[in-house]
Amino acid sequence: MTDDKVVGIDLGTTNSLVAYMGTGPTLAHPDAPGKGVFIIPGEDGVNLVPSVVALDAENHVLVGNAARTALLTSPERAVYSVKRLMGRGVEDVQEELKLFPFQLAEDLAPGEVLRIKLGGRTYTPPEISAQILRQLKRNAERFFGGAVKQAVITVPAYFNDAQRQATKDAGRIAGLEVLRLVNEPTAASLAYGLDRKQNGTIAVYDFGGGTFDVSILKLKDGIFEVVATNGDTHLGGDDIDNLLIAVAVDDIRGDLGVDVRRYPDAVQRLRSAMIEAKIALSSSEAADVEVELPEGKLYQRRITREMLEQMIAPIVERTLGPCRRALSDAGLTAQQVDEVVLVGGSTRIPLVRREVEALFARKPHTELNPDEVVALGAAVQANILAGGSDETKDMLLLDVTPLSLGIEALGGVTAKIIHRNSTIPASATEHFTTGVEGQVSVAIHVLQGERELAKDCRSLARFDLKGIPPMPAGLPRIEVRFLIDANGILHVSAREQRSGKEAEIQVQPSYGLTDEQVENMILDSFDNAEADLAERQLIESRNEAETILTALGKGRRNAAWKMLGFSEQRKVDELEQRLRLAMSGGDHHSIRRSIDELNQATTRLAELMMDAAVGSALHGKKMDETEMEDGPSAPHPIGKAEFS
């Protein structure tokens, strides 16, 4: 085994975590729980890293809790829930744009990768996610006291090709080699070591911050297979928070006559207080809420668990339909499920646990922290790939493709090649032919989805197979092969068997980034943001200096120059030299300082020039004839106001 540590990462919509499976104490933390599988905490000792990226006033990148705090004060300089935008196009995210304050670049062309506005620049979703990954990488590196370069990252089981690809890209941009993408429910099952049971059926119920999903896994001879997935991408703990806030707002209006909605600060305080109460009510029977309101008023309320349960019952109920649909897709009854695993912070709510237990008629697994279990499982998988322990060495993990994959056949119909819920890695081959006499090329249009017509499916990629010798229609024999690799990424090849002509692509999904784009992003990443900024400031300050020097040149040739005293002229000369010296250096601060000094010293010159110009204008001359010999520019450039 090498020294290279492979970490497991849960890149969540709301929270992200990094975990490791290994033996023995670590360098940095000789007495830390360095055995088995564990979460690596951040510098603040906290395991969960909120999936929020923000810029502070100096354009430094903030990630996690610091970013979440910044989100409250300057939401326009923060991005959260970016996972919702990964690998998606403008037309895919209209719903998300209505629900979340994403600021997208306006000039997006159809098919182009999304870009999110942040602090005067735009970033693709993988670049934002990379920032979160980089923070987790740093946390791990601090923990181990050495570089961490490889990771296993989890993705929702329903993530399509483009979303998986975007997640891999994010890893690369963050400087991580992504050894494997693992489905979140598979990771959770691994964390519980359910593979050791050899055979059985597992339901994974994942209720997080903003999403709900349920997966049915089959375990055959110690091998996992995801057989069905379902869920609701707009249902999660946030909905519970919003409901509690809405109720409190009504309460406050009725009892205290205050319309809290008019005070964003108070709404934020109310939100924090309600979330705190919600969390407390998962372990206590009652929670006291106290929030200071404007107009000197105070909101005080005792919420019992019973009240909470009554309010949120409809939300919890909405998770049960997808569970039933997943079971029916898998051809199973609830009773046939052997193990139920709870994942996601919102499954800490006792009502959720009771409902799930009732539906499956089985006590769910809750021994591990539900918001950590996915990361722990990712670490187990990382350990397997690192060639880790004997215990895990021979394990192979299989997942399922959630949507059918195929190509567009003549007449715009969909020809499915790999059916949904197929175990991956998967490959399948179908044969096609030409529809026209003497046709020498065919266009392969790769589709994803369940619909019969190509136009109703998602277009993944197009490529041409050219150079087919002219033959009567129907004679060429075109073999199309689909392969979904272990990461869930699709490779498609087409071969005309009579001529041997072939063409292939690794599906570069629509809204995916090209390798070159990813490379550029690595170079041009946030890590460079500081250097970029310094560079820009240097250029800007040099430009400004050029302007003032040009203006000074003009000033010297103006009659006003001679009106300055000798010592004043000497002072200006000296400061000009100092500025030129600063410009040849790389420090924009010193350039700015010299500009300021020169501005200061030339204020009187500017005033004299101004007076002269105004004077001649009064005498009926045109401004630009008098004020400057060489050009119409106003005399302001050496004036202080211009540069202050």
Residue 602 binds which entry of Mg ion, ligand ADP, none, with Cβ cut-offs from 5 to 8 Å by kind?
none
Which member of 124, 160, 167, 282 binds ligand ADP (CB under 6 A)? 282
**Burial class of 188 by CB neighbour count within 10 A (0 to 12, 13 to 18, 19+):** buried
Helix (H) or strand (E) holding 161: helix 161-173
Per CB under 6 A, the segment of 346-354, 400-408, 440-448, 519-527 that binds ligand ADP is 346-354
User: Which residue bears the tokens 């998967």?
Assistant: 426
Closest CA to 239 of 318, 307, 185: 318
Quick check: is 394 catalytic? no
Gap between the Cα atoms of 233 and 15, Å rounded: 16
Asked if residues 467 and 421 have their Cβ atoms less than 8 Å apart, the reply is no
Contact flag: residue 12 with Mg ion (CB under 5 A): yes
Locate 541 and state its tokens. 């300050």
Locate 245 and state its tokens. 């806030």
Binding mask 396-435 for ligand ADP (x = CB under 6 A): ----------------------------------------
Gap between the Cα atoms of 340 and 585, Å rounded: 65
461 bridge partner residues: 446
Locate 351 and state its tokens. 């009502």
Contact flag: residue 15 with ligand ADP (CB under 6 A): yes
Asked if residues 25 and 43 have their Cβ atoms less than 8 Å apart, the reply is no
Beta strands in 159-316 (DSSP E): 177-183, 200-207, 212-220, 223-232, 286-292, 298-304
Per CB under 6 A, the segment of 126-134, 193-201, 205-213, 263-271 that binds ligand ADP is 205-213
Nearest distance from C-beta of residue 39 to ligand ADP, angstroms? 12
Closest CB to ligand ADP among 14 and 139? Answer: 14
Closest CB to ligand ADP among 100 and 561? Answer: 100
Residue 349 binds which entry of ligand ADP, Mg ion, none, with Cβ cut-offs from 5 to 8 Å by kind?
ligand ADP
Contact flag: residue 41 with ligand ADP (CB under 6 A): no
Nearest distance from C-beta of residue 243 to ligand ADP, angstroms? 12
Contact flag: residue 210 with Mg ion (CB under 5 A): no
SS3 label, residue 175: coil
Q: How far does CA 152 lie from the centroid of its chain?
A: 17
Residue 278 binds which entry of Mg ion, ligand ADP, none, with Cβ cut-offs from 5 to 8 Å by kind?
ligand ADP
User: Which residue bears the tokens 């969390």?
Assistant: 279
Closest CB to ligand ADP among 8 and 208? Answer: 208
Per CB under 5 A, the segment of 201-209, 533-541, 554-562, 569-577 that binds Mg ion is 201-209
H helix intervals, 463-524:
515-523
Contact flag: residue 185 with ligand ADP (CB under 6 A): no
Per CB under 5 A, the segment of 20-28, 192-200, 206-214, 457-465 that binds Mg ion is 206-214
Closest CA to 13 of 175, 238, 216, 231: 238
Contact flag: residue 208 with Mg ion (CB under 5 A): yes
Closest CB to ligand ADP among 238 and 496? Answer: 238
Gap between the Cα atoms of 149 and 528, Å rounded: 19
Per CB under 5 A, the segment of 122-130, 207-215, 488-496, 600-608 that binds Mg ion is 207-215
Residue 87 binds which entry of ligand ADP, Mg ion, none, with Cβ cut-offs from 5 to 8 Å by kind?
none
Residue 279 binds which entry of Mg ion, ligand ADP, none, with Cβ cut-offs from 5 to 8 Å by kind?
ligand ADP
Residue 487 binds which entry of ligand ADP, Mg ion, none, with Cβ cut-offs from 5 to 8 Å by kind?
none
Beta strands in 497-570 (DSSP E): 502-506
Residue 237 binds which entry of Mg ion, ligand ADP, none, with Cβ cut-offs from 5 to 8 Å by kind?
ligand ADP
Nearest distance from C-beta of residue 49 to Mg ion, angstroms? 12
Contact flag: residue 208 with ligand ADP (CB under 6 A): yes
Per CB under 6 A, the segment of 9-17, 413-421, 467-475, 629-637 that binds ligand ADP is 9-17
Which member of 8, 12, 42, 449 binds ligand ADP (CB under 6 A)? 12
Which member of 279, 286, 614, 617 binds ligand ADP (CB under 6 A)? 279
Closest CA to 256 of 217, 299, 223: 299
* Catalytic one of 92, 206, 238, 355: 206
- What letters, b where the CB count within 10 A reaches 16 and e where it falls short, cover 231-266? bbeebbbbbbbebbbeebbeebeeeeebebeeeeeb
Contact flag: residue 84 with ligand ADP (CB under 6 A): no
**Burial class of 618 by CB neighbour count within 10 A (0 to 12, 13 to 18, 19+):** exposed
Closest CB to ligand ADP among 137 and 278? Answer: 278
Per CB under 5 A, the segment of 12-20, 277-285, 426-434, 593-601 that binds Mg ion is 12-20
Quick check: is 206 catalytic? yes
* Catalytic one of 92, 127, 184, 339: 184
Quick check: is 10 catalytic? yes
Contact flag: residue 402 with Mg ion (CB under 5 A): no
Which member of 87, 171, 237, 635 binds ligand ADP (CB under 6 A)? 237
Which member of 161, 339, 371, 399 binds ligand ADP (CB under 6 A)? 371
- SS3 readout for 5-49: CEEEEEECCCEEEEEEEECCCCCCCCCCCCCEEEECCCCCCCCCE
Size of the site for Mg ion (CB under 5 A): 2
SS3 label, residue 155: strand
Gap between the Cα atoms of 376 and 19, Å rounded: 6
Gap between the Cα atoms of 305 and 349, Å rounded: 10
Contact flag: residue 210 with ligand ADP (CB under 6 A): yes
Contact flag: residue 209 with ligand ADP (CB under 6 A): yes
Gap between the Cα atoms of 41 and 235, Å rounded: 28
Residue 425 has a CB neighbour count (10 Å cut-off) of 16
Binding footprint of Mg ion on the chain (CB under 5 A): 12, 208
Binding footprint of ligand ADP on the chain (CB under 6 A): 12-15, 208-211, 236-238, 275, 278-279, 282, 344-346, 348-349, 371
* Catalytic sites, residue numbers: 10, 83, 184, 206
